[in-house]
Amino acid sequence: MGGRELRSKARPYDGVAFIGVEKAAETYVAAAFEHGEPRQIARALGDVARARNMSALAKDIGMSRPALYRALSGEGKPEFATIMKVMKALGLKLTPSAAA
């Protein structure tokens, strides 16, 4: 190529844009709950929150944006009350059902 180096402008894939849609977000979070891993649930809620506007969500539930990012990073350990507030603010609800 004449000695010129090709440089990629590609960035890592971030599927958050696709979970901004209501049904996609519901399905995504439900799959995380189905798996049952707390970190995965928090991370899924964090992804949906990022897709919908983390700053507005933090304000709605009375948390700082950095604290909410930490809680929903998958590395934090959010309280159950925080998870419930986030779900309500995102228009999601937790519905128990019998285990298979």
Q: Are 89 and 62 in contact (CB under 8 A)?
A: no
Is the domain covering 21-89 a CATH 1.10.260 domain? yes
**What pLDDT is attached to residue 25?**
85
Cβ contacts of 89 within 8 Å, gap of 6 or more:
57, 60, 61
pLDDT tens per residue across all 100 residues of the chain: 555 665 666 656 555 656 656 678 888 899 999 988 999 999 999 999 998 899 999 999 999 999 999 999 989 899 999 999 999 999 999 888 888 7
**Assessment of whether the complete model's pTM goes beyond 0.75:** yes
* Residue environment code for 3-18, b if the CB has 16+ CB neighbours within 10 A, otherwise e: eeeeeeeeeeeeeeee
Token pair in block for residue 35: 């798996």
Listed by start position, the domains of the chain span: 21-89
